[in-house]
């Protein structure tokens, strides 16, 4: 798989990153950042902590885990009934979220792909959200 990070900057200067698979499917989406440097810093953090453990308090993936220390991935069920995961940084803030998946196994597959690809994926930029 040839995943890549895309930095998407809007015309107001805000930006966010997306880690996309080789098939251009989203694996992780970072929150809005006010500068390009902050966005690149978020990518650097994601690369460093991409192999963090998975916290599943409700036991959706099998046996429930306790509350884990940061950094970590947190597995969640959305109000819509779909499943997702989020990557939490060492400072306790959510860094990125995974895609909304219809099944637990699809969400776990997306998580495995994100863990596998996040460390070495190259970065490209899109200006204006185009």
45 neighbors 94 (Cβ within 8 angstroms): no
Euclidean distance between CA atoms 100 and 97, whole angstroms: 9
Rounded to two decimals, what is the model's pTM?
0.92
53-91 pLDDT, tens per residue? Answer: 999 999 999 989 999 999 999 999 999 999 999 999 999
User: Which band of pLDDT confidence, cut at 50, 70 and 90, is reported for residue 126?
Assistant: confident
pLDDT of residue 13: 83
| Sequence-ordered list of residues with C-beta below 8 angstroms from that of 124, at least 6 positions apart, any chain | 4, 5, 6, 7
- What's the order of all strands across the beta sheet hosting 72-77? 54-55, 72-77, 83-88, 94-97, 26-30, 15-20, 4-9, 123-127
97 neighbors 110 (Cβ within 8 angstroms): no
Question: Within 13 Å of residue 66, how many CA atoms lie on the same side as its CB?
Answer: 2
Question: Within 13 Å of residue 43, how many CA atoms lie on the same side as its CB?
Answer: 24
pLDDT of residue 112: 97
Q: Which fold has domain 4-127?
A: PH-domain like (2.30.29)
Domain boundaries, the chain: 4-127
pLDDT at 1 over 80: no
17-53 pLDDT, tens per residue? Answer: 999 999 999 999 999 999 999 999 999 999 999 999 9
């Amino acid at each position: 798989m040839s995943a890549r990070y895309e930095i998407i900057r809007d015309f107001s200067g805000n930006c966010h990153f997306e880690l996309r698979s080789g098939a251009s499917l989203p694996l992780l989406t970072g929150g809005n950042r006010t500068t390009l440097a902050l966005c690149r810093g978020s990518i650097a953090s994601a690369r460093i902590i991409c192999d963090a453990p998975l916290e599943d308090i409700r036991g959706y993936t099998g046996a429930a885990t306790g509350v884990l220390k940061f950094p970590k991935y947190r597995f969640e069920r959305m109000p819509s009934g779909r499943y997702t995961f989020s990557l939490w940084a060492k400072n306790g803030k959510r860094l990125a979220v995974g895609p909304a998946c219809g099944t637990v196994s699809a969400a776990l597959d997306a998580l495995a792909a994100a863990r596998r690809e996040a460390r070495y994926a190259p970065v490209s930029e899109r200006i204006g959200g185009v």
